[in-house]
Amino acid sequence: MLAPIGILGGTFDPIHYGHLRLAEEAREALALEQTLLIPSGQPPHREVPQTAAGDRLAMARLAIVANPSIVVDPAEAESATPSYSVLTLERLRAKFGPARPLVLLLGADAFAGLPSWHRWRELFALAHIAVANRPGHPPHARRFPETLSQALAAECSQRFGANANELRTSPAGRILPFDMTPLAISASLIRAQLAAGHSVRYLLPDSVLDYILSNHLYA
């Protein structure tokens, strides 16, 4: 059986230890061979990032330089078109072939909002979805069919997996929650702290902070 590949997208404005810890814990919990970190260029579901795609891509590369299990995919950051997850997964499916398990890594909030995504039902034919139990979510929140919209609960009702081994038995289509260490770190908090002249050291890698300060970002 082929080992699954994780996919973690986001604006990463800036990338921080919450993002990196999610990737690390997903790798361990889901037995991922590697994780693709994909900074978005033009995210269609969020506000325009405060920093340019080139800067966010550079910070992502600095953040993972010592971790060979994470690979930065620059395609979205270098594209002039909106970063739709279904298009990203179509591109990766073509790259890795029909048999390789792909695992889209999402937070619980993002997963709950899936019906607002472009061509969202097609995601399940392209990848598995692993949902991180984010800080502040009680244990019962992992019973997703009881807490999600009717449309999403109906689509997902037969897809929930019991353990990571199920991700290896097919290339796509399963949903698996996994626990994540509570880290109350957010990019918006970091941007606000920097704008106010406060320290953000130990919230993100030193290499990323040095890049921010050298390039006068978020000031």
Looking at domain 5-185, its CATH class is alpha beta
pTM: 0.92
Mean pLDDT, all residues of the chain: 90
- Residues 128/160, Cβ–Cβ less than 8 Å: no
**Rounded to an integer, what distance in angstroms lies between the CA atom of residue 29 and that of residue 27?**
6
pLDDT in tens, 105-138: 998 888 988 999 999 999 999 999 999 986 555 5
- Residues 193/199, Cβ–Cβ less than 8 Å: yes
Examine the pLDDT at 141 and tell me if it is beyond 70.
no
Helix (H, G, I), strand (E, B) or coil at 66: coil
pLDDT in tens, 151-163: 888 888 889 887 8
Instruction: Look at the chain and count its residues.
Output: 219
